[in-house]
Structure 1
């Protein structure tokens, strides 16, 4: 294939949207007016407080990072810019692989031109703003004060404003520039970490259509590009798909992108050092099973493709209704994930530990999705799952997620979990607990249920005013009623004290760490640059990007991928339909929950 040297837009890359999406694009005029007004304020000089009241991406309600009127515009020195770049490369880049690490570090740390852009071009400046904004969203308040001398809320609000202004100047709605699209996608990732409203869910439609304007959805675009650009195009397309799925799961809504759009454009399983700008040689992937920079993103790519086919109704693509087809989708994911993760060394590298845990959690979610779809489908009838097998799968998945979140070894990437509120697994557990007949089993899982329920109330879409919370609350009340039936008037603590030792799971309690060495936090990389600002221990002064940290021992077993724990082994396929209500009340409880989600009120058009 002939190669090109420019990373910037091609005039021939055009796309005619359908009338439905043309209408959506026309509706952005109001948004553009808001941004035009904000840009005019920038040009005129000092801003008034109203400049921070409304954000085109952030929420107008809860968790909106608004900058106090008395706080001056934040000054970002060259050293802070370099530190923010390193934070991004440490916290964001491994889990949301949308950029090329060596090119970004050369630009922001070594002060070199970005790719082939001129020094004063808006695209690199816009990307830099988005990188700084995303980086700040992944650190805590104390780390932010160490860098800026200000609280995280103030800093993130100012960086969000700068990013939005830069996107407006770059005309992100109609851009043909891949770098501008990368910056736009990063800004939505950052905003989603702080915002429960539907703004990011809505704005993703624009990212999708800009991507189609660049022909990212086509396996064979009508123009030529270099091997390097091919990988960047495929990475950003997968990133848009991942945000699309996250927003859909967050709001129990249909995703926009079909699995086939993503499966045909997978990036290569390579390290960033294997590619470079202006390269002409074809890309050579390492031997199968090698853990690379792209291994974790490719596991997420396989997962989001499977989830699209299992969890939703016939909207973007036909759903798989027979259990044989659904089971095959799950097995295909398991086989793909096992191959990708086979070279993982979780005892040596913290990020590989994180990747293995994530893969295990995804496997559990997809099994639940096979049997308990996220949306009601009258033509779908699940097989009977006897005993507490489904309860155990769902509750163990929640418990492992909670415990891994508390592990300091993988703390750098825990922010990414905010994109995935586990309401679906929680609903499955509650539906099963409502018909639980064994007090010991209920006692074993009740602590994690209460904890995840409380945490979900803080991060679920639209908070407690959203479409999901009231149905979850109703299901929780049913489960509490069942607990009172089984335990009588005893408190949970009294009941636990009467259960034989070893029955109640104590894995949920946070444990003291027993240190064992880990050589590096990420995959080995050639050279690293140190952060010189004083930060918290996880980002301490003079510590390299890939620090040697202690790896705490854990009671969790994440060697659960080979063989996979398989709820299918316990299922009864002998019946052609559902058993009687008395035998399958758990399914009816879950089906009623999904009905309550869609029959309650419509949040999609609520302000």
Structure 2
């Protein structure tokens, strides 16, 4: 009899499976994995074991500090220009941080690689496969391409000329752009009180240039800029007679020039912050995720001086107080969205939110309405309130993780369950959608519920505790539904709000990673087809300076899934796995029947938009896409986050 007991094998421990401790165990045999038996003395448990572990860690830290001090004393006084030794390079390359340096959401990819055995080897491999002609991907750039700004705004040399030109520009298209802003932006991102905003703009027209008029002009230009960002090129040509990119570039430059004149960093005002928020919303809608993410931190710092969320009610009029609350929650929402874009936690804490804005129309705040609102209709604030509720739930979980508070799984489940109950009670139950806005509000509420469940189990940031093995929630199904709801939001009835849809990249990554598992045969064609459609719709080339680093590991996952699907089945000889990945040479794509694709739009039925075409072989075999990944360096200046746990491409160069 062995002196040391045989413990759960390494594969069963990682996969959270019951191990019979055989050599090999039955679980590894069934999964086709190499069983790594573990035979050693059991680790100490209880209070004594933890104390020894803490003492050991403390001793290691002390020894490390002493070693660093001795090295510092032995080095020459000026050695900072010397290149590191080969040994140091080797040690750095072996560390997880060095292997996955320079990419987005490292914690997300770390957790994902731990969940799926052998996934890490797929993504940390070389990029040679990215240049294979057979695997070429057709990922189209954004329709609007505008260059990134410097960190600070700069104005023209002649202030008077710039102001005059900005006034002229602001007076050209407001009769077209104001209605578009109201219909597509204001009712889903309700930051402004529209009647008072229009009154301020009209009062300042024709007056001499003053500090006040300059702030109003900035807000006017920002409104029109955001309206343009919510349009497409065809609409701009038909309605405005010129290209989308040309108009967006002109208005963007004008907004930047006026932002520089009003001293945004030194003397900001509420009007200035409103304009800056709309500017950030616009550049994000145009795909400038890097610039948007950098500016959000600046916005949060500037807003801190206004003490939003801690106002004394008697210090402001009811209208001014509500405008401040709307502005503050809009800033918090942008911060949360930017954090999800980059796989990190938001800057703003839940304790700083303060009271929610009122769920009422602008007419109620203006005093022109009695405020009556039946229980079965939505207000102008409804979609924004849904976003605020979800943001609050997300911040509750994030703050608990950061503060080391009650981070138990039961607490997180309870938090999300309370959020789901609130969504159903306030925005879904007993509602009778009649207009496209009503359908969009209900779709938003149901989509956020599904997405929150996915975020709870596969967050794009690091969480201290893993999801317990007892949790039976179907993550793949939730991720697939999240992508379905995003795609369904692009139907003709809802396409006017398509600008606000963000790429569900982590949902796509979860589905592709699960399909890399040895037992992925349990996933049906719907998961693969929806993932392929989402990739085609949202993916960008990895040499795109705005979001390329985000899509590089996802592209590698997609390639591995395609290779697995093309390989012969183990039990079927040369039989190939049928599906949309095999014969994809046609020019059209007929989506499969989605699992409850219209649940988000009950009570009426809506079909998958047939205009989502070309999810076929052309996106994977176009030779024009070859070489798009040649210039990617994880150590470049674009270090949004470190994907410490997946990518280690240290020899690739990136040029912006």
Cα pair distance change 1:457/1:494, threshold 3 Å: closer
Higher relative contact order (CA 8 A, sep 6+): 2
Shift of 1:327: 0.7
Cα contact 2:377–2:433 (8 A) shared by 1: no
Query: What is the deviation of 1:206?
Result: 2.2
Among residues 143, 157, 170, which one is paired with 1:40 in the alignment? 157
Report what 2:497 is aligned to.
Answer: 413
- Shift of residue 31, structure 1, vs aligned partner: 4.3
Report the equivalent of 1:241: 332
SS in 1 for 2:540: helix
2:508 counterpart residue number: 426
1:402 partnered with 2:455:
no
2:189 maps to 96
Shift of 1:239: 0.8
1:306 equivalent in alignment to 2:399: no
Task: Tell me by how many angstroms 1:398 deviates.
Answer: 1.1
Paired with 1:285 and 1:147, the residues of 2 have a C-alpha distance of: 37
The Cα shift of 1:506 comes to: 2.6
Q: Do 2:476 and 2:510's aligned partners in 1 also have CA atoms closer than 8 Å? A: yes
Which residues of 2 match residues 47-126 of structure 1 at below 5 A? 76=169, 78=171, 80-106=173-199, 111-112=202-203, 121-126=213-218
2:438 aligns with: 352
- Distance of 1:494 and 1:288 partners within structure 2: 47
Task: Return the offset for 1:93.
Answer: 0.2
Unaligned runs of 5+ in 2: 1-149, 570-574, 585-590, 610-641
Q: Taking structure 1 as reference, are residues 364 and 413 closer, same or farther at Cα in structure 2, changes over 3 Å only?
A: same
CA shift in 2, pair 1:45/1:211, >3 Å:
closer
* Cα distance, 1:134 vs structure 2: 0.3
**Alignment length (residue pairs):** 457
8 Å contact kept, 2:296–2:335: yes
Deviations 1:297-332 (Å, cap 9, x if unpaired)?
A: 1110111122234468844x4475321111111112
1:134-533 alignment runs, 5 A limit: 134-220=226-312, 224-262=315-353, 264-276=354-366, 286=373, 291-310=378-397, 314-315=401-402, 317-318=403-404, 321-342=407-428, 345=431, 347-385=433-471, 389-405=474-490, 407-417=491-501, 420-435=502-517, 437=519, 439=521, 441-458=523-540, 466-484=548-566, 488-493=575-580, 505-507=592-594
Task: Provide the C-alpha distance between the structure 2 equivalents of 1:599 and 1:287, rounded to a whole number of angstroms.
Answer: 57
Tell me how far 1:347 sits from its aligned partner: 4.2
Deviation per CA, 1:65-109, whole angstroms, max 9, x where unpaired? xxxxxxx9996484621221111111110111110122234455x
> Can you list the C-alpha shifts for 1:499-535, whole angstroms capped at 9, x where unaligned?
xxxxx94349999xxxxxx9xxxxxxxxxxxxxxxxx
RMSD: 4.2
Q: Given the superposition, is the C-alpha separation of residues 483 and 219 from structure 1 closer, same or farther in structure 2, using an over 3 Å criterion?
A: farther
In 1, Cα distance between equivalents of 2:274 and 2:441: 23
Rounded Cα–Cα distance in structure 2 between residues aligned with 1:465 and 1:233: 32
Distance (whole Å) between structure 2 residues aligned to residue 284 and residue 45 of structure 1: 43
Task: Return closer, same or farther for 1:380/1:598 CA change in 2, 3 Å cut-off.
Answer: farther
- The C-alpha deviation readout for 1:374-416, integer Å capped at 9, x for no partner, is 2233433433455x932222112212221222x1111111111
Question: CA offsets per residue over residues 136-187 of structure 1, 9 Å max, x none?
Answer: 0111112212343221111111101111111222111123421111011111
> Measured at CA, do residues 472 and 320 of structure 1 come closer, stay the same or move farther in structure 2, by a change above 3 Å?
farther
Cα offset, 1:454, TM superposition? 2.4
- In structure 2, the CA distance between the partners of 1:195 and 1:41, relative to structure 1 (3 Å rule), is farther
Change in Cα spacing, 1:457 to 1:491, as seen in structure 2 (3 Å) is: same
Indicate the residue corresponding to 1:8 in structure 2.
Answer: none
Instruction: Flag the 1:378–1:481 CA change in 2: closer, same or farther, 3 A.
Output: farther
CA contact (8 A) 1:123 1:180 kept: yes
Take 1:404 and 1:189, find their aligned partners in 2: how far apart are those partners? Answer: 19
Contact 2:170/2:221 (8 A) holds in 1: no
- TM-score, normalised relative to structure 2: 0.61
Question: Under a length normalisation based on structure 1, what TM-score does the superposition of the two structures give?
Answer: 0.66
How far apart are the structure 1 equivalents of 2:425 and 2:197? 30
Is the 1:290–1:343 contact (alpha carbons within 8 Å) kept by the matching residues of 2?
Answer: no
CA displacement 1:325-365 (0-9 Å, x = unmatched) = 11111112112212321477564111111111111111111
**Would the alpha carbon gap of residues 295 and 477 (structure 1) be closer, same or farther in structure 2, given more than 3 Å must change?**
same
- Structure 2 distance, partners of 1:486, 1:400, is 33
Checking the alignment, whether the CA contact within 8 Å between 2:540 and 2:547 is kept in structure 1 is no
8 A contact 2:428–2:445 mirrored in 1: no
- Between stretches 198-207 and 459-468, larger displacement belongs to 459-468
Compared CA separation, residues 285 and 380, structure 1 to 2 (3 A): farther
Secondary structure in structure 2 of the residue aligned to 1:458: coil
Return closer, same or farther for 1:337/1:492 CA change in 2, 3 Å cut-off: same
Greater alpha carbon shift after TM alignment, 285-294 vs 177-186: 285-294
Deviation at 1:434, TM superposition (A): 2.1
Q: Judging changes above 3 Å, is the alpha-carbon distance between structure 1 residues 493 and 193 closer, same or farther for their aligned structure 2 residues?
A: closer
Instruction: Provide the C-alpha distance between the structure 2 equivalents of 1:260 and 1:312, rounded to a whole number of angstroms.
Output: 9
Distance 1:292 1:493, change over 3 A: closer
